[in-house]
Amino acid sequence: MAELIIFSLLHGLVYGLLLFMLASGLTLIFSMMGVLNFAHASIYMLGAYVAYTISQYVGFWPGLIIAPVVVGLFGALVERYGLRHVHKYGHVAELIFTFGLAFLIEEFVQLIWGKQTVGYHEPAVLAVPLFEMYGQTFPAYKAFMLLVSVAIFIVLLVVLTRSRVGLIINAAITHPSMVSMLGHNVPMVFMGVFGVGSALAALAGVIAGPSLGTSPGMAVLLGPIVFVVIVVGGLGSLIGAFVASLLIGMMTTFAVAIDYSFGQFFMDVGLNMDPDGVLSDLYTVTIAQLGPIMPYMLLVLILIFRPTGLFGTREV
């Protein structure tokens, strides 16, 4: 039991913080520009592939730095020369634009790198177990992922709450035109936020690639969950995104570890069920099998009982 809790906690933390790296950019972009960026997860995937290619030539570590920078610049250009022009046609046009971008990136990735999972691996130093407990090992690479995402979280927090740029971003979330009339270049701040948000997504992709597999499906695997995270946390709320990321991260990893079925539950609470009855299929469903749909169940519950999300102020 202790083993299950410790390992699930650790894995949940790794997964949750990875989600946060994506969700933080997505929710910031949304709250500043009012755009739900459907291409965000595709940018995450692009980060992994770009880093993979760089790692082929100069190794893992340079890729870890260069790929987010390259993809971040790409994001900034997308905002400057794409989104900014689409903006005047309204939010629907912007939404469709990011949709198109998501497909474009996906096709591009398949064109360049193919449909198969590419062999993007962690560096040898990290391809070892960090520690062993109750016969289970915890990989050093997961600890590294944890380290990177915690560092990013701290940097983000400090920049947003302590720096002048953070002040400008916070003010521009509610009053963009007032901020620019005080002499701050708000369009450039928007471009910067989009760029940095993309870079963070790419960095998430870079560190997730060797662990979760670098394949054309990785965007679709994580994208919907990240949307769930920002809706559950409250659109536009960074704290909400953080809490929801960890919540969903923990929930999914714990669920996977629990081998407990409804039939078992009914038996434990003293109800005797007919194992061959009409509902017998339901009885054999285990919590582990429910794991992947749990975020969506949470989403539905939140939308019913708290449409603004946990920390949000506006309704979805």
Partner 1 sequence: MLVVKDLNAYYGKSHILQGVNFDVKQGEIVSILGRNGVGRSTTCKAIMGDVEPHGSVMFKGEEIVGKKPHEIAHMGLGYVPENRDIFPTLSVRQNLMLGMKEAGKEGVWKIDDLFDRFPNLKERAENDAGVLSGGEQQMLTMGRTLMGNPELVMIDEPTEGLAPKIVEQVGELLEEIAARGVSILLVEQKLTIALKIAHRVFVMGHGHMVFEGTPDELRANDKIREEWLEV
Site string for partner 1, 59-78 (x = CB under 8 A): --------------------
178 binds partner 1 (CB under 8 A): yes
Local structure of 119: helix, strand or coil: coil
Residues 84-143 that bind partner 1 (CB under 8 A): none
Decide whether 80 or 121 has the Cβ nearer to partner 1: 80
What is the size of the binding site for partner 1 (CB under 8 A)?
A: 18
The tokens of 134 are what?
């109750």
Pair 221, 204: CB distance under 8 Å: no
13: part of which helix (H) or strand (E)?
A: helix 2-33
CB burial of residue 212 (10 Å; 0-12, 13-18, 19+):
middle
Single out the residue of 146, 159, 167, 239 in contact with partner 1 (rule: CB under 8 A).
167
Which one, 63 or 176, has the nearer CB to partner 1? 176
3-state secondary structure (DSSP) of residue 237: coil
Contact 145, 207 (CB under 8 A): yes
Q: Measured between alpha carbons, how far is 165 from 136 in angstroms, rounded to an integer?
A: 45
Using CB atoms within 10 A of its CB, is residue 234 exposed (0-12), middle (13-18) or buried (19+)?
buried
Per rule CB under 8 A, is residue 184 in the interface with partner 1? yes
Tokens of 50: 């770009």
CA distance 226 to 121: 24
Q: Enumerate residues 6+ apart whose C-beta is below 8 A from 133.
A: 3, 6, 7
**Min. distance of Cβ 182 from partner 1 in angstroms?**
6
Residue 293 DSSP label:
G
171: contact with partner 1 by CB under 8 A: yes
DSSP state of 286: B
Under the criterion CB under 8 A, does residue 177 sit at the interface with partner 1? yes
What whole-number distance in Å separates Cα of residue 110 and Cα of residue 128?
A: 31
39, 179, 208, 238: which one binds partner 1 (CB under 8 A): 179
Among 182, 300, 301, 316, binds partner 1 (CB under 8 A): 182
**Of the two residues 211 and 237, which places its CB atom closer to partner 1 in the complex?**
237
Residue 164 engages partner 1 in binding (rule: CB under 8 A) = yes
Q: Name the one range near partner 1 by CB under 8 A: 137-145, 172-180, 228-236, 274-282.
A: 172-180
Is residue 238 near partner 1 by the rule CB under 8 A? Answer: no
Q: How far is the CB of 28 from partner 1 (least distance, A)?
A: 14
- Tell whether residue 157 is a contact of partner 1 (CB under 8 A): no
Residues 185-204 that bind partner 1 (CB under 8 A): 185-187
The whole-angstrom separation of Cα 175 and Cα 32 is 9
Q: Which of 93, 181, 285, 316 binds partner 1 (CB under 8 A)?
A: 181
Span of 58-66, 128-136, 169-177, 253-261 interacting with partner 1 by CB under 8 A:
169-177
Q: Does 183 bind partner 1 (CB under 8 A)?
A: yes
- How many residues in total does the chain contain? 316
Q: List residues binding partner 1 (CB under 8 A).
A: 164, 167-168, 170-171, 174-175, 177-187
